[in-house]
């Protein structure tokens, strides 16, 4: 008996063109669970790319509401969201349904430091889309502890970077820090006696750099989900938007890194 085909059926499949890319494992991608921390510019782009790529289950964490200055680079935010001071995670969870009605996004309106990150062990990939080093290091440490791949993105004007952390094989974000990172942390949480004041610098940002960095974050995530870890960035990649150059560098594992030491002691 010969097979029956329906004319035009190819165009009824949302992911037909994705399936034509040999290394993408669409079954795994569609059943993957992703954790996205930060719902700003990178977070918007990462969510958009994950959803268009076929990921259906996402947890999204952010503590902030939409402001007008977000509107130059955040695809899910609208002017009315800024007027109403709507929470970023709620808006993304709502608008993403316009891209794919089957998406399940769990929005968490909270600082990353205030939630129980034991849940990370239930996720396939963690994406860091923060605007500060403290939150990055916090999530990096927890993702490493629970053995979940962590993909961090950062931008500043027309430069950006992506770091891929694959526990227990690779160095982590903490391994790549130096005194300049610690000085920023000290400045952010400067103690003024009775209170701790939080210094939040306004970092230059625009959409083209943001979309490039977020796209690479998601591409590395899709490689991990599709079983292609060996093709991921090793270990950190810097993007220079003025010259349009990418440079990847290795980071050596710091034997005194507290993240690796705690993961080591966990094994006993």
Q: Give me the residues that bind other proteins (CB under 8 A), please.
A: 38, 40-43, 128-133, 153-156, 159-161, 175-181, 183-184, 187, 203-205, 236, 238, 240, 248-252, 254, 256
* Choice between 18 and 159, CB closer to other proteins: 159
| Residue 210 CB, nearest approach to other proteins (Å) | 8
Cα 103 from Cα 55, distance rounded (Å): 8
Unique residue bearing structure tokens 């399936």: 19
Q: What is the nearest approach in angstroms of other proteins to the Cβ of residue 207?
A: 13
Contact 235/170 with Cβ under 8 angstroms? yes
d(CA 40, CA 91): 11
* Residue pair 75/44 in contact by the 8 Å Cβ criterion: yes
Cβ atoms of 179 and 187 closer than 8 Å? no
Q: Cβ 200 to other proteins, closest distance in Å?
A: 11
Give the residue among 51, 153, 31 at the shortest CA–CA distance from 94: 51
Min separation Cβ 49 and other proteins, Å: 15
Nearer to other proteins, 29 or 164 (CB): 164
Nearest C-alpha neighbor of 131 from the set 239, 208, 39: 39
Based on CB atoms, which residue is closest to other proteins, 119 or 254?
Answer: 254
Closest distance to other proteins from the beta carbon of 145 (Å):
21
Q: How far apart are CA 182 and CA 81, in angstroms?
A: 35
The string of DSSP codes covering 84-137 is HT-BHHHHHHHHGGGT-TT-EEEEEES-GGGS-GGGGGG-SEEEE--SSHHHHH
* Residue 24 or 126 with smaller CB distance to other proteins: 126
Smallest distance, other proteins to C-beta of residue 19, A: 32
User: What are the phi and psi torsion angles at 34 (to 5°)?
Assistant: -120, 145
Nearer to other proteins, 180 or 267 (CB): 180
Our CB check for other proteins shows the closer of 119 and 251 to be: 251
Note whether 166 and 149 are within 8 A (CB): yes
């Amino acid at each position: 008996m010969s097979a029956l085909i329906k004319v035009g059926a190819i165009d009824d499949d949302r992911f037909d063109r994705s399936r034509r890319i040999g290394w993408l494992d669409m079954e795994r991608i569609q059943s993957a669970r992703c954790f996205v921390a930060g719902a700003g510019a990178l977070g918007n782009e990462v969510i958009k790319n994950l959803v268009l790529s076929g990921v259906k289950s996402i947890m999204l964490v952010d503590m902030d509401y939409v402001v007008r200055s977000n509107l130059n680079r955040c695809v899910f935010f609208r002017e009315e969201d800024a007027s109403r001071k709507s929470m970023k995670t709620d808006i993304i969870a709502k608008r993403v349904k316009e891209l794919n009605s089957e998406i399940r996004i769990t929005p968490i309106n909270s600082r990353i430091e205030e939630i129980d990150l034991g849940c990370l062990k239930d996720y396939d990939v963690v994406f860091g889309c923060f605007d500060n080093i403290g939150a990055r290091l916090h999530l990096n440490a927890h993702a490493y502890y629970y053995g979940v791949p962590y993909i961090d993105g950062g931008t500043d004007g027309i430069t950006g970077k992506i770091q891929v952390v694959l526990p227990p094989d690779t160095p982590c974000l903490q391994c790549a820090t130096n005194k300049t990172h610690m000085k920023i942390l000290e400045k952010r949480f400067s103690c003024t006696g009775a209170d701790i004041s939080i210094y939040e610098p306004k970092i230059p940002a625009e959409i083209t750099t943001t979309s490039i960095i977020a796209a690479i974050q998601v591409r590395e995530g899709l490689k991990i989900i599709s079983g292609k870890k060996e093709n991921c960035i090793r270990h950190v990649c810097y993007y220079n938007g003025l010259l349009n150059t990418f440079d990847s560098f290795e980071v050596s594992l710091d034997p005194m890194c507290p993240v690796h030491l705690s993961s080591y002691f966990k094994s006993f």
